[in-house]
Amino acid sequence: MAAEGEPLLRVRGLEKAFGKVLAVNDVSFDLRPGDALGVIGPNGSGKSTLINLVTGFVKPTAGTVEFKGKDITGIAPHRAVGLGIARSFQMARPFYNLPVYKNVVIPVYSPRSRKHMGAEFGDRDEAAVHLLEDVGFERDSPVPYKKAGELPHGYLKRLELARCLALDPDLIILDELFSGMSMSEIAGILPLLEKLRAAGKTLLMVEHRLRELFRVVDSVLMLQFGRKVAAGTPQEVMAMPEVAEAYLGAEVKVDA
Which residues contact another protein by CB under 8 A? 18, 55, 57, 76-78, 81-82, 86-87, 89, 93-99, 102, 105-107, 109-113, 124, 142, 145, 163, 166-167
In terms of CB distance, is 10 or 124 closer to another protein? 124
Coil, strand or helix at 147: strand
Q: How far is the CB of 81 from another protein (least distance, A)?
A: 3
**What's the rounded Cα separation, in Å, for the pair 128 and 196?**
18
C-alpha to C-alpha distances, 167 to 68, 98, 106, 198, nearest whole angstrom = 17, 19, 10, 18
Q: How far is the CB of 178 from another protein (least distance, A)?
A: 19
Instruction: Give me the sign of the Cα torsion angle 28, 217, 181, 132.
Output: positive
Closest C-alpha to 31, from 171, 144, 153: 171
Q: How far is the CB of 121 from another protein (least distance, A)?
A: 11
Q: How far is the CB of 174 from another protein (least distance, A)?
A: 12
Q: How far is the CB of 163 from another protein (least distance, A)?
A: 7
In terms of CB distance, is 66 or 175 closer to another protein? 175
In terms of CB distance, is 97 or 184 closer to another protein? 97
Cβ atoms 53, 14 nearer than 8 A: yes
**What's the rounded Cα separation, in Å, for the pair 18 and 13?**
16
In terms of CB distance, is 29 or 121 closer to another protein? 121
In terms of CB distance, is 169 or 234 closer to another protein? 169
Cβ atoms 103, 148 nearer than 8 A: yes
